[in-house]
Amino acid sequence: MRPLKILFVILLALIVSFCADTGSADKTSGNAPQKLLETMAAFNEAFQQGNVVALDSLTTEQYWHTNGNSKAIGKKDWFSYLDKRAKEITSGNLEVIDYEMTEREIKVYGDMAIVTGKIEVTQKASGEIQKNAYRVTNIWIHLDGSWKRAGFHDGKIE
């Protein structure tokens, strides 16, 4: 009877460890890979500045982008928008005064991470200051030694 009991305990331990949540969530992102945090900061800075070249290097080829007010679009369509936005920034018609991600939470699953947070944007467009806030979800994939954003969704906070 004793060997059967030991086998049962081992089997139970294996099942529990296999089914346990292998991700890590930490509001301060202390358990997130440092490289992911650095890449997210670079991505947000590139978006604020309208740096399309940097954004291209930080997204997957199969990138999927969804805004709360439109259907999902692929990388090509999103970059068409980014090109227009970059021209607005360069011409001075659009100034992104502040772009900040707060309330960030990260769950890492091996070579994938889900990041949620709140984006607060202050910008000046056509001489008018606009402030907006969005709840966001980002999907990041670790490919060939670097993190790339693979998906995005936001919803405007009223």
Residue 155's pLDDT band (cuts 50, 70, 90): very high
pLDDT per position as a tens digit, 104-135: 999 999 999 999 999 999 999 988 999 999 99
The confidence score (pLDDT) of residue 68 equals: 85
Question: Under a CB-based contact definition with an 8 Å cutoff, are residues 114 and 84 in contact?
Answer: no
The confidence score (pLDDT) of residue 83 equals: 95
Lowest pLDDT segment from 5-14, 24-33, 67-76 = 5-14
The confidence score (pLDDT) of residue 2 equals: 54
Please state, rounded to an integer, the average pLDDT across all residues of the chain. 83
Q: Which of 85, 58, 86, 41 is nearest to 151 (CA)?
A: 58
- Here the tokens at position 47 are 């978006």
Q: Which of 51, 55, 98 is nearest to 63 (CA)?
A: 55
pLDDT value at 21 more than 60: no
- Percent of the chain, pLDDT > 90? 73
What is the rounded CA–CA span in Å between residue 22 and residue 110?
A: 8
pLDDT per position as a tens digit, 67-101: 988 899 999 999 999 999 999 999 999 999 999 99
User: 21-157: which CATH topology?
Assistant: Nuclear Transport Factor 2; Chain: A, (3.10.450)
What is the model's pTM? 0.77
